[in-house]
Amino acid sequence: MTDTTLKLPKARSETGEILHHLLRDPLGLAGLVIVTLIVASALFAPWIAPYDPVAMNIPDRLQGPNLAHLMGTDQIGRDTFSRVIWGGRVALQVALPTIGGAMAIGLLLGMIAGYGPKWLDSLIVLFFDTVRAFPTVMFALAVVALVGPSLNTVIVVIMLTSIPTYGRVVRTLTQSLKEAEFITAERSLGAKTPRIMAIHILPNVLGPLAVLAAMDIPTVVGLEAGLSFLGMGVKPPTPSWGSLLNDGYALIRNTPWLIIAGGIPLILTTLGFTFLGEALRDVVDPKLRGRGGK
Amino acid sequence: MADILEIRDLSVGYSTPRGSLKALRNVSMAIPDRRIVGIVGESGCGKSTLISAIIRLMAPNARVGSGAIRFKGEDLLARSEAEMRALRGTAISMVFQDPMQTHNPVLTVGRQMVDIQYRDKLSKAAKLKRAAEMLALVGIPDPEARLNQYPFEFSGGMRQRIAIAMALMAKPSLLIADEPTTALDATLEVQIIKRLKELQDEIGCSILFISHHLGVIAELCDEVVVMYAGEVVEQGSVRDVFHAPAHPYTRALLDCDPGHIKVKTRNLPTIPGNIPDLVDLPKGCIFAERCTKRHEACTARPAMWNAGAGHQAACHLLAVEETA
């Protein structure tokens, strides 16, 4: 107790500090472990998956879980476990660029709207509201009908419709920060607008935004699964959690295992990222850090 | 002695749905080199508008009607925004009222103190060293270690010291302090005031000190300006104004100061009435409605009369004395 309080956390960087506190939160730890597992299995899919996810093996079709096939096989004998692992790749391939892109654009537009002149603010908010007015799935279906199903279409559509989520939060935060006394204090010490935005507003916005992003990943993964379920995402042989669900849905009378195998990773992703997001929320604010712990 | 800042006939208004709110009317004052000038007045008398006009960080609906603000002989109102920015933090700095709000909550104090030195071409280590020196100067023990801490790890008094250190970092020639001790408790107030006076001496700057605490003004300042409802009603040396107040408002203000009350009482004295409506101003003397010495002449606007050497007040009573 005494020596931990005496130790000054001098050498630790900001990221190290966040990680340190995250690991002390059981929920955060659980989230981190699940997320790491999902990301690692997606990254190392070729080494982890025991079979080729698209290789057919008709004699072994529609098996339940057994030692040879951990999660059984589908109607043409493909190994479900391998498809789940490879499906994670597709899920993250969609989620990461989507969230990354939406966050970056939302951050930029939100900060401009929140700090800039009134007319620009109105213009950007109008854009947000217009985009938000389209239901994501309907919009995606329309675009897919127009240009044909592909993973890139899904990415672009979800990204575009997610921009307002981030943009609005950033705009509101920027607006309240703009009025904060420490911003006036910085201005009274001669700081320029770009400087205030980059050094004082950005770090204050980034924390809540990271939390939002972590919580948003399951939504995007779910959207991709939904679109693939509807046959609008990845093309057939490519494994995706959504297409697994689709196969399972069609074969529900023959075997429950396909739908379970498609559903579990979705549930795990949701739980993992939500835990992580909630733990992050407490940790990114330096003031809330070390509550309870230490 | 040259004046570092000279305000001539400054009028500032705010456009509101009801019309123009005349927050400052024909304000003139001067801050001599290496002097501390205090501004007193109750809430809404235009203190904050005056500072925001000097540093040119005014609310979007503020309009400067007339007048000039000369800093070292040059009119600040004629400067471009970029030229103004070059002055802020180097020649003119500011300390704010609430130390709990003046620092970025998510950056360490060291990071913020290094950041405001962005104009200097120094290594980061040199900037950190300078930041630590400034912290030591304002009386923060173990400054090197404390640079790594976040604002919330400091008490209010400490944070105000840090704010002062940041404001004085570039050795400005004018420091504007907007009620810097109002949010602190009495013992801290005394410490901060003392330190401020020492620092002013050391750096050789002038200070414009805003407060509604008369005791603090008397302790710290060389000269005092009394403002009421957007006008200067009296100004002079601290000794003249506090010992021989010439304006009835100043006298009433002094009578209300708990430090001046000798007799034990349950009810502290107040000045009856309210500040007049600044959108629809009364015709004559601005204080007439609340004044105990009101007479016929008060329906006309009083001029600034001399009450002594370097001591003026805007009251008709002085005209009577002078002509009598």
The more confidently predicted of residues B53 and A79 is B53
**Taking a C-beta distance cutoff of 8 angstroms, is the pair A103, A209 a contact?**
yes
Mean pLDDT of A8-18: 60
Mean pLDDT of A80-105: 88
Minimal Cα–Cα distance from B132 to chain A, Å? Answer: 15
Mean pLDDT of A218-246: 80
Asked if A8 is an interface residue toward chain B (Cβ–Cβ < 8 A), one would say yes
Q: What chain A residue is nearest to B82 in terms of C-alpha separation? A: A192
Summary mean pLDDT of chain A: 82
Mean pLDDT of B217-246: 91
Distance CA B11, CA B22 (A): 8
Is the per-residue pLDDT at A109 higher than 60? yes
Q: What number is the ipTM of this complex?
A: 0.75
Q: Is A251 helix (H, G, I), strand (E, B) or coil?
A: coil
Residue B223 region by backbone torsions, left for phi larger than 0, else alpha for psi between -120 and 50, else beta = beta
Q: Name chain B contacts of A189, Cβ cutoff 8 Å.
A: 88-89, 93-94, 116, 166-167
Is the per-residue pLDDT at A150 higher than 50? yes
Minimal Cα–Cα distance from A286 to chain B, Å? Answer: 6
The percent of residues in chain B predicted with pLDDT above 70, rounded, is: 98
Is the per-residue pLDDT at A72 higher than 80? no
pLDDT bucket at A140, cuts 50 / 70 / 90 = confident
Distance CA B53, CA B62 (A): 9
Residue B236 region by backbone torsions, left for phi larger than 0, else alpha for psi between -120 and 50, else beta = left
Closest CA to B178 of B29, B63, B57, B34: B57
Provide the chain A residues 57-96 that lie in CB contact (below 8 A) with chain B.
none
Q: What chain B residue is nearest to A180 in terms of C-alpha separation? A: B101
Is A181 in Cβ contact with B106 (below 8 Å)?
no
Summary mean pLDDT of chain B: 88
pLDDT of res. A285: 67
pLDDT bucket at B225, cuts 50 / 70 / 90 = very high
The percent of residues in chain A predicted with pLDDT above 70, rounded, is: 91
Identify the burial level of A203 via C-beta atoms within 10 angstroms of its C-beta, where 0-12 means exposed, 13-18 middle and 19 or more buried: middle
Convert the pLDDT of each residue in B77-113 to its tens digit.
Answer: 888 888 898 888 889 999 988 888 889 888 899 999 9
Distance CA A259, CA A245 (A): 5
Asked if B60 is an interface residue toward chain A (Cβ–Cβ < 8 A), one would say no
Is the per-residue pLDDT at A170 higher than 90? yes
Mean pLDDT of B308-322: 82
Of B90, B93, B103, the CB nearest to A182: B103
pLDDT of res. A5: 41
Residue B89 region by backbone torsions, left for phi larger than 0, else alpha for psi between -120 and 50, else beta = left
Distance CA B176, CA B153 (A): 26
Convert the pLDDT of each residue in B24-52 to its tens digit.
Answer: 999 999 999 999 999 998 888 888 899 99
Distance CA A189, CA B89 (A): 4
The percent of residues in chain A predicted with pLDDT above 90, rounded, is: 14
pLDDT bucket at A184, cuts 50 / 70 / 90 = confident
Is the per-residue pLDDT at B172 higher than 50? yes
Is B93 in Cβ contact with A287 (below 8 Å)?
no
pLDDT of res. B5: 92
The percent of residues in chain B predicted with pLDDT above 90, rounded, is: 30
Task: Look at B51-55, B158-162, B293-297 and tell me which has the smallest mean pLDDT.
Answer: B293-297
Is the per-residue pLDDT at B159 higher than 50? yes
pLDDT of res. B207: 94
pLDDT bucket at A3, cuts 50 / 70 / 90 = very low
Of B55, B98, B107, the CB nearest to A181: B98
The more confidently predicted of residues A118 and A246 is A118
Mean pLDDT of A246-255: 82
Is the per-residue pLDDT at B201 higher than 50? yes
pLDDT bucket at B282, cuts 50 / 70 / 90 = confident
**Taking a C-beta distance cutoff of 8 angstroms, is the pair B32, B208 a contact?**
no
Closest CA to A118 of A193, A175, A201: A175
The more confidently predicted of residues A55 and A108 is A108
Is the per-residue pLDDT at B263 higher than 80? no
Is the per-residue pLDDT at A38 higher than 70? yes
Mean pLDDT of B134-155: 90
pLDDT bucket at B1, cuts 50 / 70 / 90 = low
Is the per-residue pLDDT at A2 higher than 50? no
Is A188 in Cβ contact with B89 (below 8 Å)?
yes
Task: Look at A32-46, A220-234, B134-148 and tell me which has the smallest mean pLDDT.
Answer: A220-234
Task: Look at A165-174, A243-252, B223-232 and tell me which has the smallest mean pLDDT.
Answer: A243-252
Q: Name chain A contacts of B85, Cβ cutoff 8 Å.
A: 190, 192
Q: Name chain A contacts of B167, Cβ cutoff 8 Å.
A: 189
pLDDT of res. B209: 93
Distance CA B39, CA B223 (A): 9
pLDDT bucket at A82, cuts 50 / 70 / 90 = confident
Q: Name chain B contacts of A10, Cβ cutoff 8 Å.
A: 145, 148
First to last CA, chain A: 8
Kindly tell me the sign of the dihedral angle through the C-alpha atoms of B195, B197, B202, B208. positive
pLDDT bucket at B7, cuts 50 / 70 / 90 = very high
pLDDT of res. A286: 65
Is the per-residue pLDDT at B284 higher than 80? yes
Is the per-residue pLDDT at A157 higher than 50? yes
Asked if B59 is an interface residue toward chain A (Cβ–Cβ < 8 A), one would say no
Asked if B90 is an interface residue toward chain A (Cβ–Cβ < 8 A), one would say yes
Q: Name chain A contacts of B163, Cβ cutoff 8 Å.
A: 185
Of B57, B86, B106, the CB nearest to A188: B57
pLDDT of res. A4: 41
Give the range with max mean pLDDT: B92-106, B248-262, B310-324.
B92-106
What's the one-letter identity of residue B109? V
Is A189 in Cβ contact with B167 (below 8 Å)?
yes
Is the per-residue pLDDT at B242 higher than 80? yes
Provide the chain A residues 166-205 that lie in CB contact (below 8 A) with chain B.
180-182, 184-192, 195, 199-200, 203-204
Is the per-residue pLDDT at A236 higher than 50? yes
Distance CA B40, CA B245 (A): 13
Residue of A189, A209, A294 to mutate for B, most B C-beta atoms under 10 A: A189
Mean pLDDT of B64-89: 89
Residue of A188, A204, A206, A294 to mutate for B, most B C-beta atoms under 10 A: A188
Closest CA to B74 of B153, B164, B2, B162: B2
